[in-house]
Amino acid sequence: MSVTTSIEYHFENLQKGWAIVGRSSRGICALFLGANQETLLEELKAAFPETHLKEALEFEPVLDPIHLVPAGDFPLDLQGTDFQKSVWIALQKIPAGQTRTYGEIANSLGRPGAARAVGQACGANQIAAIIPCHRAVSAGGNSGGFRWGLQWKQGLQDAEALSSRRSA
């Protein structure tokens, strides 16, 4: 796993709350969702305790504030194990507005029986919306968990479904 020594961050005001976006020299390494800026900054500090954090003076918006979809293609600084990265890449291949079960994702990686590990990789994801863990659901089709809360997960799923219908 690579170590990031410096992160620029900024806040994005979203219709449903706030996002804090962190960018290293390699790309976006964090996108956390929450209700207020103070809590999000504390979460970023906790996630990168050995890293120098600096508020960015200029930063291109990363999320569309209403539709909660990425506002463009951004380089990513994925920080995780090889398995976690493979899960995150698999999630990005799921079409917007669709979901897959943790088991289906595990099977797509050639790791049947690793549904729980897929769920843990989703929980370790530090880049909400761009690494779309909200597309992963439990076997029964219910939401399962989500690092930033089920309201955010449902909001991201609803926004993607609406955006997909508009572009069809």
Handedness of CA 112, 116, 120, 123 (dihedral sign): positive
Q: Is the pLDDT reported for residue 166 higher than 70?
A: no
**The pLDDT of residue 168:** 58
**The pLDDT of residue 167:** 62
Across 148-152, average pLDDT: 92
pLDDT tens, position by position, 96-149: 999 999 999 999 999 999 999 999 999 999 999 999 999 999 998 778 889 999
**Range from 4-8, 35-39, 51-55 carrying the lowest mean pLDDT:** 4-8
Strand 100-101 relative to strand 136-137: parallel, antiparallel, unpaired?
Answer: parallel
Q: What single-letter DSSP state applies at residue 158? A: H
Band the pLDDT of 150: cuts 50, 70, 90. Answer: very high
What percentage of the chain exceeds 90 in pLDDT?
75
Cα-to-chain-centroid distance, residue 122: 8
Q: Supply the residues annotated as catalytic.
A: 133
* CA distance to 30, 58, 87, 121, 140, per residue, from 117 (Å): 21, 37, 9, 6, 17
Residue 54's SS3 state is: strand
What is the model's pTM?
Answer: 0.90
Place of tokens 């600096």: 54
